Amino acid sequence: MHIFDAATRFYGGNAIVGGGVPVAVRLALADKMQGKANVTVCFFGEGAAAEGEFHESMNLAALWRVPVLFVCENNLYAMGTALDVSESETDIHRKAAAYRIPSEAVDGMNVVAVEAAARRAIAAIRAGAGPAFIEARTYRFRAHSMFDAQLYRDKREVEAWRERCPIRRFETWLAAAGMLHDADRAAIAQAVDAEVEAAVAFAEAGTWEPIADLARDVYTAAAP
């Protein structure tokens, strides 16, 4: 959530629900004012659509025609709150359309469909059409956090969605199209295992943050 790396143009997440949406509008506006041919892409969950800053951002993005692509990953549950008990309009892309932002809903479990939608949206943004909005309808297989008992959903629902696993669907699609073979699968699996092992080794070899740093950049009012 808090990773930030300007060198790779990754401007981080935000602990505030929907907090990254106005930041994306600001970044896109800066690019437009400076004449840069960039497109800012902002990802957030459907829970963010209930926040005031979401609507403020949609309004200003449309009004100023900033080059930003909003991608809502609608997984039906904002932490443990079901979408249909928290939103009067459950088709999230319609909220963006209300601000005259071109928007569409896509199967978020279909990699190819998401890519096609993103390509269409970004092409339009680069052509000067202003912002665009994609609602990727997807699902979260695991708990929201380690403390989440998942009492708000039925296990049968989770298993039903697992049958639509985007990785397996994409793998099947590639194989059917003749673009993926058994040797490719083995090579990819080996490369992924090696990458994970290297990351774990790097983390375990790291040093602990000095205790003194816990109080760094933390301020308090002086005692009277």
Structure confidence by residue, pLDDT tens digits, 99-154: 999 999 999 999 999 999 999 999 999 999 999 999 999 999 999 988 999 999 99
- Secondary structure class of 21 (helix, strand, coil): helix
Q: Please report which confidence band the pLDDT of residue 221 belongs to, taking 50, 70 and 90 as the band edges.
A: low
Q: What are phi and psi of 223, to 5 degrees?
A: -65, 140
The confidence score (pLDDT) of residue 112 equals 96
Q: What are phi and psi of 80, to 5 degrees?
A: -120, 10
Amino acid at 2: H
To which residue do tokens 């003749």 refer? 178
Token pair in block for residue 119 = 């390509």
Q: Please report which confidence band the pLDDT of residue 223 belongs to, taking 50, 70 and 90 as the band edges.
A: low
Higher per-residue pLDDT: 223 or 83? 83
**Per residue in 44-72, pLDDT tens?**
999 999 999 999 999 999 999 999 999 99
Domain 6-164 = CATH 3.40.50.150: no
Section 150-178 average pLDDT: 95
Give, in order, the Cα–Cα distances in Å from 168 to each of 116, 165, 175, 212: 19, 6, 11, 47
